[in-house]
Amino acid sequence: MTGRVLPFGPSNPIIQAPMAGGGATPALAAAVSRAGGLGFLAAGYRTAQDVRREIAAVRERTDRPFGVNVFVPDFAAARREPGDDAALARYREELAPEAERYGVTLPEAPAWDDDEWDAKIGLLVDERVPVAGFTFGCPPPEVTARLHDAGSVIMVMVNTPWEAVAAAESGADAVIVQSSGAGGHQAAFLPPPPSWPPTWEAPDDLPELVALVREATDVPLVAAGGIMDGADVAAVLAAGAVAAQLGTAFLRTPESGTHPVHKAALADPRFTRTAFTRAFSGRTARGLANRFMAEHEASAPACYPQVHHLTKGLRRAAAEHGDPEAMALWCGRGYRRCRDLPAAALVEVLMEELAAARA
Ligand SMILES: Cc1cc2nc3c(=O)[nH]c(=O)nc-3n(C[C@H](O)[C@H](O)[C@H](O)COP(=O)(O)O)c2cc1C
């Protein structure tokens, strides 16, 4: 452990999850940080220039700490597996009727890209962001050193005890333990090492997973996945976490930039469950089960971010048509318990409920 001071802990444990795709606006992050939580921007899928503007917009609204989250590219995936191109071409063909339906042209051969990794790391270092968060992997040692020199706290999201150990060894100051009930993409970035049974499965129950990870490492843990109220926060703190990261709970706040069709679907009784899918991005993520997922889940290749690029025009067009059936409606298992409150009021209610649960 580095002993860096964390801008969260058992007495201020509410962290708003970064939400790529427009959800995590500067207004949301600033409102959460001002209310005593930790707000997060999501750099994923945005240009470094846009992220720079968003950081400035948060700083205009608050001088409290906030985080910026970056996706770690899988550089090994850049060296494509033989067959990936063929699998992508087949998937593109399968999606042709969808493209016609929504009036879009699918990209010819969507390419792997690193989501402007170098530029984003340079930006986080330049801007001396209070918290730098990483998803889909650990930052390499050189990046960790630069961010620590710039004074940033580093967080890495994990799904398993061995990923938590790897993150702690990479120099992370805190590790986010994400359960299978979480909305959006799973962090998953390492297969089980030989010392773990290859069939090991993470428990669905978040406090149980936190307790298992607690046994594997003493790095401070943040829990994420299906946390919707103060009693849920109390349960993960009791299991050994120092804070809770909530994404879905903030999706319907007025400050969230989540598309209105997505916000409406969360309260629409026609959607009855969430499911994992890689049909939209090529990586496993949880969202409301809809038509696109049902029709394409079985054939979507595990090619991220090429599948993301292949489907993004379709998803945008579906949103413009007001049709949630071909949108990625990311949310966690707790989505029915979303509350329509401004972000600051939600942080306040969560803290009151936490106090009541601890009393
Ligand atoms: C719409 C949406 C977008 C997300 N985007 C990101 C992201 O850009 N980076 C990230 O680290 N996690 C992202 N997540 C996952 C969150 O970090 C977190 O694990 C998850 O929201 C926790 O589960 P919950 O949604 O049930 O609270 C996203 C989640 C949602 C719902």
Residue 347 is assigned to a structural domain of this protein: no
Residue 306 is assigned to a structural domain of this protein: no
66-80, 222-236, 244-258, 331-345: the lowest-pLDDT one: 66-80
Answer with the residue of higher pLDDT: 109 or 66: 66
Percent of the chain topping pLDDT 70: 98
Percent of the chain topping pLDDT 90: 94
What pLDDT is recorded for position 78?
74
Residues with Cβ within 6 A of ligand 1? Answer: 17-21, 23, 42, 44, 69, 135, 157, 178, 181-184, 224-227, 245-249, 330-332, 334
Atom of ligand 1 nearest to the CA of 134: 11
Distance 174 CA to ligand 1 centre (A): 17
Placement of tokens 């406090």 in the chain: 207
> What digits encode the pLDDT tens for the residues 43-102?
999 999 999 999 999 999 999 999 999 999 998 777 766 678 899 999 999 999 999 999
Residue 91 is assigned to a structural domain of this protein: no
What pLDDT is recorded for position 1?
45
- In this structure, are residues 30 and 5 in contact, taking their beta carbons and an 8 Å threshold? no
Residue 252 is assigned to a structural domain of this protein: yes
Query: Residue type at 148?
Result: H
Placement of tokens 């063929």 in the chain: 86
pLDDT at 25 over 70: yes
Atom of ligand 1 nearest to the CA of 248: 25
What pLDDT is recorded for position 77?
78
> What digits encode the pLDDT tens for the residues 148-190?
999 999 999 999 999 999 999 999 999 999 999 999 999 999 9
Tell me which residue range forms the domain holding 250.
1-73+113-256
Q: How far apart are CA 256 and CA 23, in angstroms?
A: 5
What pLDDT is recorded for position 82?
67
> What digits encode the pLDDT tens for the residues 198-232?
889 999 999 999 999 999 999 999 999 999 999 99
Mean pLDDT for 323-345 is: 98
Q: Which CATH number characterizes residue 17's domain?
A: 3.20.20.70
Residue 172 is assigned to a structural domain of this protein: yes
- In this structure, are residues 204 and 332 in contact, taking their beta carbons and an 8 Å threshold? no
Distance 185 CA to ligand 1 centre (A): 7
What pLDDT is recorded for position 100?
97
Number of domains in the chain: 1
Helix (H, G, I), strand (E, B) or coil at 203: coil
Q: How far apart are CA 166 and CA 144, in angstroms?
A: 13
Residue 2 is assigned to a structural domain of this protein: yes
**Residue with CA closest to ligand 1 atom 9:** 18
Residue 157 is assigned to a structural domain of this protein: yes
Residue 233 is assigned to a structural domain of this protein: yes
